[in-house]
Structure 1
Amino acid sequence: MRSDQALLVREAGPATASDPAPGKDRIRATRRRRASKIAMYALLIIMSIPFVYPMLWMVFSAFKPANEIFAIPPTLFPSEWTLDGVARIFTVQPFAQQYLNSLYIAALVTLGSVIVGSLAGYAFARIRFPFASVLFLFLMAGLFIPTEVTIIPIFRWVASLGLMNTHVPLIILPILGPASIVAVFIFRQFFLSLPVELEEAGRLDGLGRLGIFLRIALPLAGPAIGAVSIMKFLASFNMYFEPLIFLRSENLFTVGLGLTRYQDHYGEPIHNTQIGATALTVIPVVIVFLLAQRQFVEGLSRTGLKG
Structure 2
Amino acid sequence: MTDLHTARISASRSGNARRVPLGRIFLYLALTAGAIVMIAPFVWMLMTALKTNAEVSTFSWLPKEFHWENFVEAMNVAPFLQYMRNSLFIAVGETVVTVALSTMAGYALAKLPLRGSRTLLNYFIVLLMVPFQIILVPLFLIVKSVPLFGGNDLFGAGGTGWLDSWWGLIIPLAAGPMYTFLARQFYVSLPAELADAARVDGVGEFGIFFRIMTPLIKPALITMIVFQVEAAWNAFLWPLMITSSDELRPLQLGLAVFSQNPASIQWPYLMAGTALAALPMIVLFVVAQRQFVQGMANTGLKG
TM-score range with shorter-chain normalisation?
A: 0.7 to 0.9
What is the TM-score of this pair, normalised by structure 2?
0.83
Deviates more, 1:256-265 or 1:184-193: 256-265
User: Are 1:88 and 2:73 matched, yes or no?
Assistant: yes
Residue of structure 2 equivalent to 1:127: 112
Instruction: Find the partner of 1:62 among 24, 49, 59.
Output: 49
Matches of 1:147 and 1:46, distance apart in 2: 33
Counterparts of 1:49 and 1:257 in 2: how far apart (Å)? Answer: 29
Deviations along 1:244-295, one digit per CA (max 9) or x if unpaired, are 0111122321111111121478863211100110011111111111121222
1:7-156, aligned counterparts within 5 Å?
Answer: 15-20=2-7, 44-71=31-58, 74-83=59-68, 85-156=70-141
Between 242-251 and 228-237, the greater mean CA deviation after superposition: 242-251
Name the amino acid aligned to 2:231. A
Aligned to 2:233: 237
Task: For structure 1, list consecutive stretches of 5 or more residues without a partner in the other structure.
Answer: 1-13
Check the 8 A contact 2:124/2:178 in 1, yes or no: no
RMSD: 2.9
Query: Would the aligned equivalents of 2:124 and 2:181 in 1 still touch at CA under 8 Å?
Result: no
Computing the radius of gyration over CA atoms, which structure comes out larger, 1 or 2? 1
Cα distance, 1:131–1:272 mapped onto 2, change above 3 Å: same
* Inter-partner Cα distance in structure 2 for 1:112 and 1:88: 36
Paired with 2:131 and 2:11, the residues of 1 have a C-alpha distance of 64
Identity across matched positions, percent: 32
- The residue that corresponds to 1:169 in the other structure is 168
Equivalent of 2:187 in 185, 191, 194: 191
Contact 2:99 2:225 in 1 (8 A): yes
CA distance in structure 2 between the partners assigned to 1:255 and 1:95 by the alignment: 7
- What residue ranges of structure 2 are gaps of 5+ in the alignment? 151-161
Amino acid in the other structure paired with 2:178:
V
Q: Does 1:225 align with 2:210?
A: no
Distance in 2, matches of 1:63 and 1:118, equals 44
Paired residue for 1:213?
209
Flag the 1:249–1:267 CA change in 2: closer, same or farther, 3 A: farther
Answer yes or no: is the 8 Å Cα contact 1:114–1:228 preserved in 2. yes
2:113 is paired with a residue whose SS is coil
1:292 to 2:277 alignment: no
Distance 1:81 1:264 in 2: 26
Write the distance in 1 (CA, Å) between the matches of 2:29 and 2:291.
26
CA contact (8 A) 1:226 1:293 kept: no
- Decide whether the 8 Å contact of 1:94 with 1:250 is kept in 2: no
Displacement of 1:225 in angstroms is 0.7
Contact 2:94 2:228 in 1 (8 A): yes
CA distance in 2, matches of 1:45, 1:255: 33
User: How many residues get paired?
Assistant: 287
Name the CA shift for 1:271/1:18 in 2 (closer, same or farther; >3 Å): same
The two structures have a TM-score, normalised by structure 1, of 0.82
Q: Which moved more, 1:101-110 or 1:181-190?
A: 101-110
1:105 and 1:191 mapped to 2: Cα distance?
A: 28
Q: Which moved more, 1:24-33 or 1:225-234?
A: 24-33
Residues 98-107 or 146-155, more deviating: 146-155
- Distance in 1 separating the partners of 2:134 and 2:11: 70
